[in-house]
Every structure is written in C-alpha cells, then in structure tokens.
Amino acid sequence: MSTANVSLNLADIRARSYAWELSRYVTQEQIEKHRAEARAWYAANKERHRAKAKIWAEANREKILAAQRKSYNAHIEARRAQSKKYYEANRDDKLAKSKAHYEANREKRLAQCKARYEANRDEIRDKVRVTGAKWRAANREKIATYDAKRYAQNPDKINAWSKRWKDANPGKVKARNARWDADNPGRRAALRNAWMAANPERVALHAARHSAKRRSLLADVGTFSIREWKALLAATGHKCLCCGVSESEAIFSFPKKGAPRVGRLTKDHIIPITQGGTGTIDNIQPLCLPCNQRKSNRHIDYRTHPRSSIRR
Ligand SMILES: [Zn+2]
C-alpha cells in the first residue's frame, strides 16, 4: 500500500468520524438553525461584507488579474472552441439581436460616431490614410477582383456613381489622367485604338449619333451654303486662318496608318455651337484639322487674330 493511499484513507476516516461525532451532539434541527442564522447574518451584513470584499479585491488587484490571466491562458484553446461553438449555434439569433439593437439605436450611434469623428478628425484621417494605403498596396488583386465583381453585378449603378464623382471633381479627374498619362506614355491612344478596332459597331453608332446631334443643332442655329463656303475660302486665300498652311497642303484626316490625307480645310465654328454660336457663315472660319482640333471647344476668332491671313 502506497503512502498516498494511506493518507487518503486517514483523511476519509477522520471526516467520517467527525461527522459521526457531530451527529452524536448536534441534531439536524440545530444544523438547520445554525445555517439559517448564518444566512440571516450574511443578509444583515451583506453591504459590509461586500465592501470588505471590494477593499480586498482592490488591494489585491494584480494578484486577481494574474490568477485570471493564468486560468484564461491555461484553457485558452478550450475557451475559444467553446465560444466558437456557442457563436455558431446562436449565430442567427445573435446577428438578429445586434441588428435590432443597431436599428433601435441607430440615430444615437451615428451621432456618437460623428461626434467622436469630429473631435478627432485630423488624427483619424491620418490614421485611415496610412492604414488604408498600406492595406490597398498589400491587396491590389483582391481589390481588383472585388471591383470587377461589383461592376459586373451592377454596371449602370457604378457608371452613374463614377460619372457623378467625375462631374463633381473635374480638377481631380484632370490631374489623375495627367498622372496616368505620364506613367503610361502612349498607352491611352493604344487602348482607344484597340477598343475602336474591337467595337466597330459602337464606333459607327457613336458617329451616327454625333452627326445626328450635330444636324439637329445646326437646324436650330442656322446653316450656310456651299457657295458661301467657297466664297469664304476665296476671301481668305484658301489658307488655314490659324497656321497659314494652304488648302492643297492642309491636313484634314488622321488615318491610323500611312500619311494623313491633305487638300481640304475644315469649317470651324468661331463661337462653338455649344456656347451659343450660330451655324451661319459669319460664324465660320477655315482651319486645317490639326488647328481645329487644337482650338477644340474654345472661342477664338482667327479672322481678327494676329496670325490671321484674311484678305481685306
Ligand atoms: Zn492650321
């Protein structure tokens, strides 16, 4: 027989004999009475007892925390498994509850968040900027996949958002495009050409719409005859009023391959139609295509411009 067993048996014997001794002198009623008294004392001194316990807990805070930590760490895997199991078993319930709570306290919570944000605005912004940039840099592919998926789900909505943002931030768009062009020289033109080659019907549709729009615009703003145009060319010496190139040398097409076609001037609207210009001959000036494109949608009158070659 081992020592452990002996001491265990001794303790057992002692406990039993104590109970037996007790039963000889103390009746069950006495035990109940004693218990009732102890309960009453505890109830009467509850506050005092609690205060004392609190004082002890405060004095031994570190000790208690260490014990809690030790116990927590000793059973960490089991605890995690348990809480995971509990969460999974009560998932729907928990989600519904937290959603209901959120809905019920939505205004309050939003106000709290807003107040907190306003109070720590700069700090939060800096933090978000840094962590956001770090995360985005580390998750480029993830973001691209997510964006593509969202776009595929609702292209019209995304396009509308994008357009609204672009309309509201023209400066940012311009800067971003310029940055991208600088980083990707020649890429924009290549992409556009590839897209146009791959989508001939879209290109044709766009051109048809553009000319229909232009025709309807011109119908509203007036027009001029070929005779008037020829008279204007004669009056201006058959030259581009901007660069002075003669009609026979003037570029009037940008073919994708080979030399550009020459020998014609374009009919530029001095005040663009979109800016209230008329379609009549007094608002027309002959320009070569490159000059016309460079002028774009601006109001420049080359008839009175220093470089004008008009015959008076
Ligand atoms: Zn020109």
What burial letters (b/e) apply to 143-163, b meaning 16+ CB within 10 Å? eeeeeeeeeeeeeeeeeeeee
Q: In this predicted structure, what is the pLDDT of residue 64?
A: 92
In order of 148, 165, 168, 180, 199, the CA distances from 154 in angstroms are 10, 17, 22, 26, 22
> Distance from the CA of 211 to the center of ligand 1, in angstroms?
23
For helices 187-198 and 170-183, the axis angle rounded to 10 degrees is: 100
> Distance from the CA of 265 to the center of ligand 1, in angstroms?
9
The C-alpha torsion from 3 through 9 and 11 to 15, rounded to 10°, is 180
Domain map (residue ranges) of the chain: 1-37, 122-153, 155-184, 186-221, 223-312
> Distance from the CA of 203 to the center of ligand 1, in angstroms?
27
Q: In this predicted structure, what is the pLDDT of residue 312?
A: 35
What predicted TM-score, i.e. pTM, was given to this entire model? Answer: 0.34
Model pLDDT for residues 215-262, shown as the tens digit of each residue: 777 777 888 888 999 999 999 999 999 999 999 999 888 766 667 788
Q: In this predicted structure, what is the pLDDT of residue 214?
A: 73
> Distance from the CA of 306 to the center of ligand 1, in angstroms?
14
CA 37/CA 67 separation, integer angstroms: 33
CA 162/CA 100 separation, integer angstroms: 33
pLDDT greater at residue 307 or residue 205? 205
> Distance from the CA of 224 to the center of ligand 1, in angstroms?
22
C-alpha 157, offset from chain centre: 14
Question: 223-312: what CATH class?
Answer: mainly alpha
Model pLDDT for residues 72-100, shown as the tens digit of each residue: 888 888 888 999 999 999 999 999 999 99
Q: What average pLDDT does the segment 96-109 reach?
A: 92
Q: What average pLDDT does the segment 125-142 reach?
A: 92
> Distance from the CA of 295 to the center of ligand 1, in angstroms?
10
Tokens of 248: 């026979």
Q: What percent of the chain has pLDDT over 90?
A: 53
Model pLDDT for residues 50-74, shown as the tens digit of each residue: 899 999 999 999 999 999 999 888 8
Reduced to 3 states (helix: H, G, I; strand: E, B; else coil), residue 266 is strand
In order of 56, 220, 264, the CA distances from 210 in angstroms are 86, 16, 21
Model pLDDT for residues 134-181, shown as the tens digit of each residue: 999 999 999 999 999 999 999 999 999 999 999 999 999 999 999 999
Greatest Cα-to-Cα distance within the chain, rounded to the nearest angstrom: 141
